[in-house]
Amino acid sequence: MSSAAKLSRCVDLLRHGEAAGGACFRGSRDDPLTPAGWAQLEVATAVDAAAGAWDRVLCSPAQRCAAFADVLGARLGVPVTALPALRERHFGAWEGQAAARLPAADLAAFWSDPAGFTPPGAEPLRDFRARVASGWQEVMTLTLSHRQPLVVTHGGVVRAILGEVLGLADASLLLLEVPHACRTRIRLPEPQAGGLPSLVAHGC
């Protein structure tokens, strides 16, 4: 093991599984996991959970994240903490709407200029990124005494955290694929060692 590895710890990010209601803009809408979504998370966490890899679980308060986090934490015998800053972006009038049902011009503007176009009543991307950045700082602070916590959250939050770690522009966030039950690992340097967080792995 390298000296850098000895002076670091990891945070694992996990996007929730499939939620009831089908594919749609699901931000503050609090749909539960489907049985298939629950099974996706069981598969995604099986090996590391069996090995006792995680010593703390953090999560979004949304039930599609918190319900599984509570069960996994109880199974592992580790603390579970919900962090409001890790909730998904609120999409305003687009909440619960499938992309195919939205005006094509608005949808194109959303994808091409995510910072400049905000759906009616939605949380502006700048505010969302600032909130998630605050939540990420909270995660790093809460995990100072833990070697490898698991964070169960949303696709948009995973993108925003990776944006913080990698210094990505707003338009680049949408180029990151974060499917259901996707796993991401970020290495955090120990405070006394200095340095910055870095991406170790991302994908299913």
Least confident of 14-28, 54-68, 97-111, 181-195: 181-195
Place of tokens 């670091």: 8
pLDDT tens digit string along 14-60?
999 999 999 999 999 999 999 999 999 999 999 999 999 999 999 99
pLDDT tens digit string along 70-103?
999 999 999 999 999 999 999 999 999 999 999 9
**pLDDT score of 7:** 53
What is the DSSP secondary-structure string of 48-105?
HHHTT--S-EEE-SSHHHHHHHHHHHHHHT--EEE-GGGSPPP-GGGTT--GGGS-HH
Separation of alpha carbons 198 and 189, rounded Å: 9
Classify domain 3-203 at the CATH superfamily level: Phosphoglycerate mutase-like (3.40.50.1240)
**pLDDT score of 95:** 97
Separation of alpha carbons 94 and 110, rounded Å: 11
pTM of the model: 0.94
Phi (first) and psi of residue 17, to 5 degrees: -85, -170
Separation of alpha carbons 167 and 121, rounded Å: 27
For the chain, what are the domain ranges? 3-203
